[in-house]
């Protein structure tokens, strides 16, 4: 099972040759990221904000739902501290397969209650916003990972150089709250392999852009060459 970070809060999760894509971003509203044009077998959208719902950028394979190796459930949470009265709500997506539980926390904006913690408890991987601003402050996001006892934490939705909104914090503002520097693993790849015996850690993935999307990338857009007659007419 692999998790590939495509930028912002967008991930491609692949298992048994089946890919689930979560929260595609619209590059027109997400600073510094290129246009998203990828392929997937299933698409999950946490909420209807431009950084998370760019369905036009995802080409679905049309494979039947029965092919999906994941049991997918959702947990509705407020986007902000006003309990959804300002920014609305998000769906935290829970993907389970072969004894592994992956959690995409969307733009969680409040602390979890006891029932929500129970649903997410023991997550093998937790993908969580590390940039504050439109979600929990980084220290509070770290607290969430403690409460659900996530084994591997993958930060997302933060400012990285010229990528990400200017109001977002940088990933170091999130990792600062973890006591042991040895717990922070910085990778030179955008992909993390999920196994039952993986080491507990904060896995900071490296954004590599479309060049690293490989089989996920859509075919380049083909521009039809104008016919000879059309070119002659244009020349008039």
Cβ-Cβ contacts under 8 Å for 207 (sequence gap 6 or more): 5, 7, 160, 163, 190
Q: Residue 153's beta-bridge partner residues?
A: 126, 202
- DSSP states along 40-56: ESEEE-SSSSTTT--GG
Q: Tell me, what DSSP letter sits at residue 198?
A: P
Buried b (16+ CB within 10 A) or exposed e, 18-41: bbbbbbbbbbeebeebeebbbbbb
Q: How many CB atoms lie within 10 A of CB 195?
A: 9
Count CB atoms within 10 A of the CB of residue 225: 8
Cα 152 to Cα 148: distance, rounded to the nearest angstrom: 11
9: pLDDT strictly greater than 90: yes
Our measurement of the distance from residue 75's CA atom to the centroid of its chain's CA atoms, rounded to an integer in Å, reads: 16
C-alpha dihedral sign at 193, 199, 200, 201: negative
Specify the higher pLDDT residue, 136 or 68.
68
- Alpha carbons 229 and 231: distance in angstroms, whole number: 5
CATH fold group of domain 2-207: Metallo-beta-lactamase; Chain A (3.60.15)
Tell whether the model's pLDDT for residue 87 goes beyond 80. no
* 106, 88 Cβ separation under 8 angstroms: no
pLDDT at 84 over 50: no
Per-domain residue ranges for the chain? 2-207
Q: What is the pLDDT of residues 142-200, one digit of tens each?
A: 999 999 999 999 999 999 888 987 788 899 999 999 989 999 999 999 999 999 999 99
User: At 86, is the pLDDT very low, low, confident or very high (cuts 50, 70, 90)?
Assistant: low
- At 236, the pLDDT band (50, 70, 90 cuts) reads very low
Task: Identify the DSSP state of 65.
Answer: G
- Specify which residues 50 forms β-bridges with: none
> Dihedral of CA 63/65/71/77: which sign?
positive
Average pLDDT over residues 203-216: 96
* Coil vs helix vs strand at 118: helix
Return the percentage of the chain with pLDDT > 70, whole number: 90
Is a pLDDT exceeding 50 seen at residue 104? Answer: yes
Res. 67: pLDDT tops 90: yes
Q: Which of 69, 64, 24 is nearest to 43 (CA)?
A: 24
pLDDT at 81 over 60: no
Average pLDDT over residues 195-206: 97
Compute the mean pLDDT over every residue in the chain, rounded to the nearest whole number. 90
Residue 230 pLDDT? 64
222-232 tens-digit pLDDT: 655 555 556 55
Identify which has the larger pLDDT, 160 or 133. Answer: 160
Indicate the length of the chain as a whole number: 236
């Amino acid at each position: 099972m692999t998790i590939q970070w495509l930028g912002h809060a967008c991930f491609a999760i692949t298992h048994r040759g089946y890919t689930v894509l979560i929260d595609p971003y619209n590059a027109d509203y997400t600073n510094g990221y290129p246009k998203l044009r990828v392929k997937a077998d299933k698409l999950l959208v946490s909420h209807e904000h431009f950084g998370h719902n760019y369905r036009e950028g995802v080409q679905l394979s049309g494979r039947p739902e029965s092919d999906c190796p994941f049991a997918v459930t959702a947990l509705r949470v407020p986007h902000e501290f006003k309990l959804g009265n300002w920014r609305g709500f998000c769906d935290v997506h829970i993907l389970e397969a072969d004894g592994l539980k992956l959690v995409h926390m969307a733009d969680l904006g409040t602390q979890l209650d006891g029932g929500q913690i129970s649903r997410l408890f023991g997550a093998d991987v937790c993908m969580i916003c590390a940039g504050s601003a439109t979600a929990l402050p980084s220290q509070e996001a770290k607290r969430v990972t403690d409460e659900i006892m996530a084994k591997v934490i993958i930060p997302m939705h933060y400012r990285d150089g010229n990528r990400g909104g200017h109001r977002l914090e940088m990933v170091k503002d999130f990792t600062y709250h973890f006591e042991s520097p040895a717990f922070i693993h910085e990778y030179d790849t955008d992909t993390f392999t999920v196994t039952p015996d993986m080491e507990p850690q904060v896995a900071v993935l490296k954004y590599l852009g479309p060049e690293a999307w490989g089989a996920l990338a859509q075919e380049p857009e083909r521009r039809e060459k104008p016919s000879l007659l059309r070119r002659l007419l244009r020349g008039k």
